[in-house]
Structure 1
Amino acid sequence: MPRAKADFGTLHPCDFYTPDELLEEEQMYTVYEIARMLQGLEPEAEIDEETEAVLLDWAVPWVMNNSAELVVAEPPADTDPGYYGLKRGTDLADD
């Protein structure tokens, strides 16, 4: 159900990090690590599964919206997540 803006004490801008602001150029990250970093946490921070699910709701669209600036790598095993990083120079064989 929608609520009136007046019901909220403080409103904040809906700003997100750019890939350059969030990711280190020479590192690759899982979507779980990106989710933590988008909230100002360390990539390896311990969080409960419920919180992680909520954070993923923010991270997946962020990855999709910034896909032109990212590269993706195959996971080390079929049960592992893929890895994402900044797209730079000669990262891709077809560039």
Structure 2
Amino acid sequence: MPVPKDEFEQLHPCDFYTAEELLDPDEMYTVYEIARMLQELDPDAEIDAETEAILLDWAIPWVISNADDLVVADPRSDDEPGYYGLATDE
């Protein structure tokens, strides 16, 4: 259900990193690592499952929104997620 804006103490601009600002062009990342990095956490930071689920709510739309600037790699094994990286001219 919608919530009135005046119920919040502060509203922030919806300003996300671009793919180029967030990702190292020589690295590939899982959506879980991207989720952490969008919150200025280390990609390997230990977080609880509930927090990770919330961060994924931000990361998945970010990946979709930045799809034109990304490349995708299949998982290296069946028990691993796929990887995303910054598209380069190479």
Interval containing the TM-score (normalised by the shorter chain): over 0.9
| RMSD of Structure 2 on Structure 1 (CA) | 0.9
5 Å-filtered alignment, 1:54-93, equals 54-90=54-90
Paired with 1:54 and 1:64, the residues of 2 have a C-alpha distance of: 17
Q: Gaps (5+ residues) in structure 1?
A: 91-95
Paired with 2:2 and 2:63, the residues of 1 have a C-alpha distance of: 28
Q: CA deviation at 1:8?
A: 1.6
The alignment's TM-score, normalised by the length of structure 2, stands at 0.94
Q: CA deviation at 1:74?
A: 1.2
The alignment's TM-score, normalised by the length of structure 1, stands at 0.89
**Percent identical residues:** 64
3-state DSSP of counterpart to 1:24: coil
3-state DSSP of counterpart to 2:29: coil
Paired with 1:7 and 1:61, the residues of 2 have a C-alpha distance of: 25
Higher RCO (CA < 8 A, seq sep 6+)? 2
Aligned residues: 90
